[in-house]
Structure formats: structure tokens, C-alpha cells
Amino acid sequence: MGLSPSFSCSSIGALIIGCLLLQASTSVALSPDFYSRTCPFVFDIIGNVIVDELRTDPRITASLLRLHFHDCFVRGCDASILLDNSTSFRTEKDAAPNANSARGFNVIDRMKVELERFCPGIVSCADVLTIASQISVLLSGGPWWPVPLGRRDSVEAFFSLANTALPSPFFTLAQLKKSFADVGLNRASDLVALSGGHTFGRAQCQFVTPRLYNFNGTNRPDPSLNPTYLVELRQLCPQNGNGTVLVNFDSVTPDAFDNQYYTNLRNGKGLIQSDQELFSTPGADTIPLVQQYSNNRFVFFGAFIDAMIRMGNLTPPSGAQSEIRLNCRVVNSRIRTVENEDDGVVSSI
């Protein structure tokens, strides 16, 4: 079904336009009004696709936020996670943290197709991911923030780095901190606030079962687990059961972006080990932040906005080749090669 820029008169457009009146100027190279003249309906087009997708897929907002996170942690926010396999590189989609787990690629494709209709060659796939994550949070009850824009797309993917740079659900707090610090997110608030993205969405049982039955090789459950919650999780994820079964990160408000996640941690009800580590690691500097965010939703929202902007500002190394991809799955030179092959001329640009 085709989209129309008239979506700006709908609820999402009204929210975005109203919020834009509040945005502050930014001193960094990226700018919230980067597309104000070249693609003024960019937020409307992306938001319309998400609203449409939510009718059949309540998970999509959390999935899109996760895609943005997994993109930025691998050589900066450059949409490298969206590239399919090619003869030049292996896709990040095959990396262990993403394989059979990262999702929403087809939704990004829909957004890009519509953007190419109205603003051909203008909006980068990296910015599509960034805007989609912000609108996903907003639609789920979370905050709005002025998203700095103007990113460009990488011309390669980084399979090996994706295997090592992304935090594991089995990480200890020390490992989590190192993973975040390695990309420049070295504040405790970065880690705790961004982990709050697990306030909605689902995880597969395979990432949960080790702490239910054999935590750290002890043949016992993770002692930080709430006993009642342990029973509930064992019913959902039986030992030697189907590892792809989905479990809500937050069993109380599973599809809402709120601060219930932090209350869950305080009650020993963090779904995966790396989440519960934020509160259950003795003497950790993350504990007071979990308490603050649990007590005050707006304090969490403010910290989340700050951390999202910091993460969104992670850039590829200086001198890295980039472009504005026409198709988020392939570099432009590959598209032109295929077009030339169709014309009987083979030439890679």
C-alpha cells in the first residue's frame, strides 16, 4: 500500500512537528533539521510504516531500536548491519549476536522504498535506522528527542567485529562496562539507561535457560533470580526445550516503553543475566542509577535521551568510505553493476 506525505497531518506528524518547536540547536556536525528542506516528510514516512507494521507485529518497535543499537556498536552508526552478503564481505546479520535474532530488515526496506519515491538519493539508511528507533520509542509511550541527522552509509559490513563488539546477554557487569567503554560510552548512565531499552520486546529462551538450570556451571539457578520468577521462567523455558521460544523482557508492561524494567531488576526479575547484573553486582555504581530510574520515569527518560544521542553520535573511523545507499541491503556500486549486466554491459563502479 502506498504512503503519502499527507501523513504529516496524522498523530505522528503532529507529535513530531509539535516537538520540533522545542528542539535546541546542536553544535555537532549532525543536525536535527538536516532534512528540513530536502526531505521534510522523512519523519512522517518512517512513522507511517511503523504504525502500519504495529497492526500485526507488536514487537517491531523494540526490534527497530535493537537494530539501531547493534548498528552503532559496530564501527559507528553507518547502517552496516543492513547490508546483505556480497562477494566483498560477509553480512553482520550472520554474526552470533544477530543471527536468527535481529529482525525488522523488511520494515526498513519499506521505509527506504517510500523515501526513494519522495526524496530520491537523499536520506541515508543510517538515518532511517536512527529515526525509526526514536519514533518506535515514542509510539511505545517513551520520550521524544531531537535526533541529530546527516549520517552516511558504509560501503562494507564487519562480520568479525560484530561477533566481538556487541554485548552478550551472558556478560558480567565488568564485561558490559568494557564493551560500552570500547565504543566510547564510558559513563555508568550510558550503560544503565541504554539497557532500559529492554523495557519492551522479547528474548529467546536460549539466552535465558543457562541461568535457570546451570548458572556458571553450578548446576543451580542464578541466585539473583526471584524464586517466583524462576518458576515462571522455567515453565516458559523448560530445560532442553525449544530455544527459540520468546519471553517478554518485562512481564508487567511488555510492549510499553516505561521504567518498569528497573523495578523488575530491583525485584530480581531481570530476564537475562546482563540486565540483572546492573542491580545484583555488590557495590556496583549502577545500583543507585537503577534505583533512580525505577523511582522516577522522567529521570530515566532524560538519561535515555542523553545516552541515545551519545550513541547516535558514534561515527565510523575518519576516512572511511561512505555513500547514501539507494537500497539499504546493497552498496550502490552493486546496484549499478546489476543494471549494467541487464543492459548487456558488465562494469563495477
Catalytic residue numbers read 70
Cα–Cα distance between 29 and 10 in angstroms, integer? 31
Using an 8 Å Cβ cutoff, are 74 and 162 in contact?
Answer: yes
| DSSP at 330 | B
Using an 8 Å Cβ cutoff, are 124 and 191 in contact?
Answer: no
- Cβ atoms within 10 A of the Cβ of 173, count? 21
Q: In sequence order, what are the residues at sequence separation of 6 or more whose Cβ sits closer than 8 angstroms to the Cβ of residue 14?
A: 8
Is 78 annotated in some ligand binding site? yes
Is 76 annotated in some ligand binding site? yes
SS3 state of residue 341? helix
Is 113 annotated in some ligand binding site? no
Is 68 annotated in some ligand binding site? no
Helix, strand, coil shares, percent, the chain, to 5:
50, 5, 45
Is 56 annotated in some ligand binding site? no
Q: In sequence order, what are the residues at sequence separation of 6 or more whose Cβ sits closer than 8 angstroms to the Cβ of residue 157?
A: 80, 81, 83, 89, 90, 91, 92
Q: In sequence order, what are the residues at sequence separation of 6 or more whose Cβ sits closer than 8 angstroms to the Cβ of residue 319?
A: none
Is 71 annotated in some ligand binding site? yes
Q: In Å, what is the CA distance from 133 to each residue of 64, 110, 143?
A: 6, 15, 11
Is 250 annotated in some ligand binding site? yes
Cα–Cα distance between 304 and 297 in angstroms, integer? 10
Going by the annotation, the residues of the binding site for substrate are 167
Going by the annotation, the residues of the binding site for Ca(2+) are 71, 74, 76, 78, 80, 92, 199, 250, 253, 258
Going by the annotation, the residues of the binding site for heme b are 198
Going by the annotation, the residues of the binding site are 71, 74, 76, 78, 80, 92, 167, 198-199, 250, 253, 258
